[in-house]
Structures are given as C-alpha cells and as structure tokens.
Amino acid sequence: MSNTDELAKILKGSTKAVFFGGAGMSTESGIPDFRSAGGIYSQSLHQKFRPEEMASHSFLINHPAEFFEFYRQRMVFMDAKPNDGHRALARLEEQGILRAVVTQNIDGLHQMAGSRTVYELHGSSLRWPCMKCGKVYPMEYALQEENKPIPHCTDCGGVVRPGVVLYEEGLDDTVVKNALRAISEADTLIVGGTSLVVYPAAGMIDYFHGKHLVLINKSETKADAEAELVIREPIGQTLAAAVAQLFPQ
C-alpha cells in the first residue's frame, strides 16, 4: 500500500482529524520557509542585525523604520495563493473529516482556500492593529507608499504594526487554548511542514492522544518514531492525492 493509499484510509475512518502545519505548508505557494538553506533566516539582510533580531518586539520599538523595511521586503507575499494542500484541507473540513487547522503560518492561505476553523498560533500578516487604540487595518493599508516608512493610525496617530507574534512576544492565550483542545480531542493528527523545533508551538503535539499520528515533512523530526505514517513527499501533492482518492471528481 502506498503512502497516499494509507493516508486516504486513515482519513476515511476519521471524524475529528486536525492538521498542525508549519512553514513547509506554504512553500508550494511560493513563500519561503525560515530555517532551510534558502530560508528567510539563512539570508544576510543587514550589516548590523540578524533576521531574528529584526523580527523582534524590541527591534520594532527601537528601530521602527528598519523593522518595517525588513517586514515589507521579507515577510509580505501579496501574490501568494493557496496550493493544492490548502484546498485539500478545506475539502476535508467541508466533508466532516477535519475539525480544525492549527498553523504556525501568518499568510492566511488556509482561510483563502476555504478553511473555516483555523487557529493561527503566530497571528496574521493580513491584519495590522494600531499599537495605541487597537483599530485594525488591512495589510494593503500599511504597504501604501504614503504610509512609509512607518504606518500610522488615521484615528489616533499610533503606530500600525503587523498582527503577528514577534520574537519576545507571547502567543495569544485564547488561540492556544482552542488549538490544544482541538489537538487533544482529535482522532487523527496530521503534522505537516514543520521541523518541530520552535516552542511553544512544537510542544503542542504532546497533547495528542488519538489513534493516528501522521507526519508529512521533507526532513526528520523529533516525532518521527512515534508516528504511524511518515511521508517525505511535498505536502500539497500528498494531501491532494489522498483527498482525490476519497472524493473523486
């Protein structure tokens, strides 16, 4: 039995599946990951600061102009579209197999593909709240030429920042609580496109006590030995092929 056949069989018997995804989920949509050889954090972007520093809360506060230049250049992908994997997950939710998507990504592609229950652990690059009054702006507002180098709120004049979790910031308690509940209640957990090295998100899979653990990732992870099925193929192709078996057109 092929990996695709096995995955389709597992999904067919599931009614409370959860997908837990990382940056590898969006690479097939043209968004680079962070830690691979060609990832965002492997690139030398600035003579004085490392990329991890530039994506931190203190850098936003102390060097706002440089922060926004870095963010606009390296963290915004306006042309990215959902790939076959995003669409496959939306179909699984529609058919009552998938309960939720828990994602470390900030690109909003799961929602664009049609997924309704999505827990964004690291926030969303599509929503930009004012740091002073909380008014939320779309990403397009912050990218307008007249809002460079630092976008400001039209109501109170506060700085408008990306609604993502930066280094030195904590995850949203409500999002974490909902994600952990979904994982703990799942009968199947599919982990895809994450190296499982970034905490606290990586520790969330420890809350899974269901029947089937599936790992889809190009490189080895800490959870490989515990998984029922480990797949080293591209996530989008793998999910799409399994869903096509379940629901042929």
Catalytic residues: 122
Q: Three-class SS of residue 240? A: helix
Q: Three-class SS of residue 236? A: helix
CA dihedral over 230, 235, 239, 242, signed as positive or negative: negative
Question: CA neighbours within 13 Å on the CB side: how many for 217?
Answer: 25
The secondary element (H helix, E strand) that includes residue 57 is helix 57-62
Q: Three-class SS of residue 17? A: strand
The secondary element (H helix, E strand) that includes residue 3 is helix 3-12
* Integer Cα distance of 249 and 246 in angstroms: 10
Other beta carbons within 10 Å of 93: 22
Report how far apart, in Å, the C-alpha atoms of 225 and of each of 2, 87, 213, 222 are: 19, 29, 10, 7
Q: Of 20, 4, 7, give the one whose Cα is nearest residue 186.
A: 20
* Integer Cα distance of 223 and 191 in angstroms: 9
In one-letter notation, the amino acid at residue 211 is K
Q: Three-class SS of residue 91? A: helix
